[in-house]
Amino acid sequence: MTGGNAIRGTRVGSGPTVGESERGEAAPRKRIDYWCANAHHSKPSFALDAEVPEEWDCPRCGLPAGRDEQNPPAAKRNEPYKSHLAYVKERRSDEDGMKILDEALAKLRERKGR
């Protein structure tokens, strides 16, 4: 029995060249330029037959990046967290809320016999 780790590293030039011979040939690629509102430039690569997106997330700041350097897309506005009450107030007016409250109170009074 031999000692040591079962996982061994390799050194450069110790065996078959790592690359195309082991993994196959890489698909032909094209590089596309994108710019974000912070003037960051990124250049991801896509396969020649792939559909290229109009927007790409900037790897430096996370803002959307577009293909037009002079007119990058604007940052998307994040909606703040809304409570359940805020959503209800969007759907109902104060008058509707008062009507619903009065109906609920009337039902409670009927059950208690008042």
Annotated binding site for Zn(2+): 36, 40, 58, 61
Q: Helix or strand or coil: residue 4?
A: coil
Task: Scan for tokens 């990046």, then name that residue.
Answer: 65
Q: Distance (Å, rounded) from C-alpha 35 to C-alpha 38?
A: 8
Annotated binding site: 36, 40, 58, 61
Task: Scan for tokens 């330029």, then name that residue.
Answer: 33
Query: Counting every residue, how long is the chain?
Result: 114
Q: Distance (Å, rounded) from C-alpha 20 to C-alpha 58?
A: 30
